[in-house]
Amino acid sequence: MLRSFQLLKKKLDKMEKRGEKVKMKLKRQSIRINDENEFFSRDALDIKEYMKVITCKSGKIILNEDIIYIYPLEKNPIWGALAPIVEFPETQEIFVRGNRVWATIRGRRYKVYIKNFEPEKTINKLVIKSGARIDYSKPQSEAEIDGWRLYFKLPLISDDIEMTATKVVNIPRLSKIIDPILAARLLMIILKPSVVVIVGPAGSGKTTLLSSLLDEITSIFPHLRISIIEQVKEIYLKNMSNIAYSKAGPNTSVTMLIRQSMRYERPDILVLGELRGEEIWSWIEAGRLGIAALTTYHSPNAKKAIFSMAELMRQSIKDATVETVMQLVDCIVVMKKFVVGGIIHREVEGVYLTYDDKLVALYKRGVHASEERFRRFFSERIMIGDFDSAYSLLKRKVQSSEF
């Protein structure tokens, strides 16, 4: 791997065309890795096992079916030896735990081997450069740098130093994530207005769906005023001209920002990037005042989300129950993540409306409720006009190239 990546690529292309297995003799020794993750030299390199050689600004990357080899060629002041994989545009996630590294590229998870990797030094540099606040009184922290969201953990809580880096992705069109009927119906539910929670495990696409929904709303109804409040910046919209954005910090709590937004910004739609704690009451208050309220929440399914949200409510009001949540939250969207053959799949598994203290499935695993049943949950007029006109408009937008 120290010599002639270009030659390796040419040989690989020829080999694939002929369907042959070729061994090439290198002018310099190549770097190999044994089962104990130790590097050693070898004169011959079996190139059949490699799929692609990539040249980045800071080094070289070789991919095979489930392993990536990284060879840094120059020092990067921020990312260190991780720079080549960070620079590769199709990298989506990087996970570091001690000296073990994994990466997600094009939805596939790879194990990563890096020559001369110093995890503690690399992570400490990223903590400093990103401005993350982490020490033994606060052993985990979040930050952002170069278009990547970072999450750090000290050995105090994880037995080893850890970092998760997630690339901030471009917002996909809503029609690329969900089918047209569901897209139109979700937009109608939000603009009813409603209190909507998007739930799912980490990495299931909650924030991506939320961003796509908001992006379509700003495109179709640019006059609507939207306020976004986050603790870590995750929501990126194409059009921010009519967006009020606030980020919580050490001296500005989420609850305070929600209250200030409702009082001074007067939004039509209030978005809380992620629901985490006592701010639940302030966020739900927006819905009670007739403002569309959206958020994401870590939970594997709708029922567990309701129970855990009731627990959050009881931190402030002791007699809050599951029924309290059902009365205050109008819609729960459930996201799922599957890993099949090393490839990550994300999808909307279900959409549920709360009605008479019950969850009513509007959509579940590809099956939609009838138009007649969907219509029952709406009055004649919603936030953007009468129901029939608004629904017809959204269905046309979803099914046309305008969307």
Does 8 reside within a domain?
A: no
Q: Which residue has the higher pLDDT, 316 or 28?
A: 316
Q: How much is the pLDDT for 16?
A: 55
Q: How much is the pLDDT for 172?
A: 86
**Residue 228 belongs to domain with CATH number:** 3.40.50.300
Phi-psi region of 386 (alpha: psi -120 to 50; beta: other; left: phi over 0): beta
The secondary structure of 339-374 as a DSSP string is EETTEEEEEEEEEEEEETTEEEEEEETTEEPPHHHH
Average pLDDT, the chain: 85
210 in the same domain as 317: yes
Flag whether pLDDT at 150 surpasses 50: yes
Q: How much is the pLDDT for 48?
A: 44
Banded model confidence at residue 331, pLDDT cuts 50, 70, 90 = very high
Banded model confidence at residue 107, pLDDT cuts 50, 70, 90 = confident
Q: Which residues pair with 361 in a beta bridge?
A: 352
**Residue 109 belongs to domain with CATH number:** 3.30.450.370
Q: How much is the pLDDT for 51?
A: 60
Q: What is the pLDDT of residues 347-395, one digit of tens each?
A: 999 999 999 889 999 999 999 999 999 999 999 999 999 999 999 999 9
Q: What is the pLDDT of residues 1-14, one digit of tens each?
A: 334 445 555 655 66
At residue 362, φ and ψ (nearest 5 deg) are -90, -30
Q: How much is the pLDDT for 293?
A: 96
Does 21 reside within a domain?
A: no
Show Cβ contacts of residue 15 under 8 Å, excluding neighbours closer than 6 positions.
21, 22, 47, 48
Report the distance separating Cα 287 and Cα 20, nearest Å. 64
Flag whether pLDDT at 35 surpasses 90: no
At residue 283, φ and ψ (nearest 5 deg) are -65, -45
Query: If you search the block for the tokens 């090439």, which residue do you land on?
Result: 24
358 in the same domain as 327: yes
138 in the same domain as 275: no
- Please tell me the least confidently modeled range out of 24-38, 150-164, 200-214, 342-356: 24-38
Q: How much is the pLDDT for 19?
A: 56
Range of the domain at 116: 48-167
- Mean pLDDT value across residues 190-213: 94
Query: If you search the block for the tokens 């044994």, which residue do you land on?
Result: 34
359 in the same domain as 296: yes
Flag whether pLDDT at 169 surpasses 80: no
- The number of distinct structural domains making up the chain is 2
- Please tell me the least confidently modeled range out of 166-170, 296-300, 399-403: 399-403
Query: If you search the block for the tokens 């392993």, which residue do you land on?
Result: 67
253 in the same domain as 186: yes
End position of a domain, from candidates 167, 197, 218: 167
339 in the same domain as 303: yes
Does 17 reside within a domain?
A: no
Provide the 3-class DSSP secondary structure of residue 102: strand
Report the distance separating Cα 253 and Cα 109, nearest Å. 36
Does 24 reside within a domain?
A: no
Query: If you search the block for the tokens 């799949």, which residue do you land on?
Result: 345
Asked if omega into 193 is within 30° of 0 (cis), the reply is: yes
